[in-house]
Structure 1
């Protein structure tokens, strides 16, 4: 068995305590989410709250791929979070990760600082009368534009992966989470509009965001809205078709 434990220098003094939590993950901390694929727990160490994400154990083939050909999701999450921070993009601070190998990747954990957020992007979708909704959408559009301008193609740019903090009156701060699927590349207008598709935007939301993005990119509002709508509806239709097939 081989292990790879990496911790940010800011938290090197907590390395032993953090390793103890990781080695005893089933017994330590409080559950934040307990899904079929991944589990997230929160722990307190010396008065600081951390989130620990344990990724699903890969199958035999995938475990070998992660050992020899591809970085694990935990390692990617840590490295991508560090890159985002370098670009001035908010994400829970990357603390460290642990990989356990034995004939392939057996277990992997990603540790980040816990962020006390006010709501996530999903609430804007489910509640059309959400307070200051249009203003939040406009600021979120600026946030997404900054991602694109920095060549950050967040492949999981979906409603549950943006946490929102109201910092001052009518000012909102956005944090990206679930970072292991990301590409760093130049993005043309087509790619940028394609990146909005997973957000499950209504036409009303798209009109607000398209108008704002068009101003930033110096593109026509109608053209921006049409392309955003095209990719969003295509994605929604595909997902709904899959759900219908499963039911049948």
Structure 2
């Protein structure tokens, strides 16, 4: 077992090392699907612990020999984001467990954020908050200008809090698929924007404000993103039908 702990949280070392044994029976489950996310408390400090789905045979080889594991990337990318001025929960530690010489299980531990996902405020509301959406569009545009690209920027992975004076702050989570480059291409930015939301009126508004901020042609940018969403949804529907047909 490999355990990397942030120097600021060395006092939690023993607790962190015990997590693979205590994870199933301890903590409060916040999310459970492919990955499982739980909240733990140790020495008065609230922690978020994410256990990633066990990798398949190919991924085990890749994560051992060629690429950092999801947990290792989550830890290092969080530090990069914080260094670049983008809010994300403070990385506390990550754990990798090998079996037969290959990575078999991994965990990422971070501090807790009380910020709210944008999904409810923008997607689940019939008349979405245009001021909030415009600020989000500018935020994502500035991220791209700064060479920062969230790998899955859906509106459950971008959180926000609004101060009494109206100032809005954003926080990024689930960042292990992020990309950091000095100069992101326009096509890669457009592909990334497709992942913001499936709600068409909201997406068109977000992309319009994004394009204005970047001084891009608004109509062309909206068209390209919507075309990208159409293709994405079509591929997903085909994949779903194939699963229904062959996995019954």
Same fold, TM-score > 0.5, yes or no: yes
Distance 1:96 1:168 in 2: 34
2:179 is paired with a residue whose SS is strand
* Deviation digits for residues 189-229 of structure 1 (CA, Å, limit 9, x no counterpart): 22212111122243322332233212221122222222222
Residue 171 of structure 2 corresponds to residue 175 of structure 1: yes
Q: Which moved more, 1:119-128 or 1:63-72?
A: 119-128
Preserved contact between residue 118 and residue 166 of structure 1 (Cα < 8 Å):
no
Preserved contact between residue 214 and residue 224 of structure 1 (Cα < 8 Å):
yes
Equivalence for 1:136: 132
- Shift of the 76–119 alpha-carbon distance from structure 1 to 2, 3 Å rule, reads closer
Equivalence for 1:38: 35
Q: Among 1, 4, 12, which residue is 2:2 paired with?
A: 4
2:220 is paired with a residue whose SS is helix
Distance 1:246 1:123 in 2: 33
Q: Among 224, 236, 247, which residue is 2:233 paired with?
A: 236
Residue 211 of structure 2 corresponds to residue 214 of structure 1: yes
- C-alpha displacement at 1:123, in angstroms? 4.6
Equivalence for 1:149: 145
Q: Among 181, 201, 206, which residue is 1:204 paired with?
A: 201
Equivalence for 2:162: 166
2:195 is paired with a residue whose SS is helix
TM-score normalized with structure 1 length: 0.89
- C-alpha displacement at 1:79, in angstroms? 0.6
1:121 is paired with a residue whose SS is helix
- Shift of the 192–72 alpha-carbon distance from structure 1 to 2, 3 Å rule, reads same
Preserved contact between residue 38 and residue 53 of structure 1 (Cα < 8 Å):
yes
Distance 2:236 2:124 in 1: 18
Q: CA RMSD in A?
A: 1.9
Distance 2:206 2:99 in 1: 48
TM-score normalized with structure 2 length: 0.89
1:106 is paired with a residue whose SS is strand
- Shift of the 65–220 alpha-carbon distance from structure 1 to 2, 3 Å rule, reads closer
Equivalence for 1:50: 47
Equivalence for 1:28: 26
* Deviation digits for residues 160-214 of structure 1 (CA, Å, limit 9, x no counterpart): 2212222334332222211221222221222212111122243322332233212
Preserved contact between residue 196 and residue 232 of structure 1 (Cα < 8 Å):
no
Distance 1:45 1:60 in 2: 34
Unaligned runs of 5+ in 1: none
Distance 2:242 2:65 in 1: 36
| Count of aligned residue pairs for this structure pair | 243
* Deviation digits for residues 36-58 of structure 1 (CA, Å, limit 9, x no counterpart): x2111100112221100011122
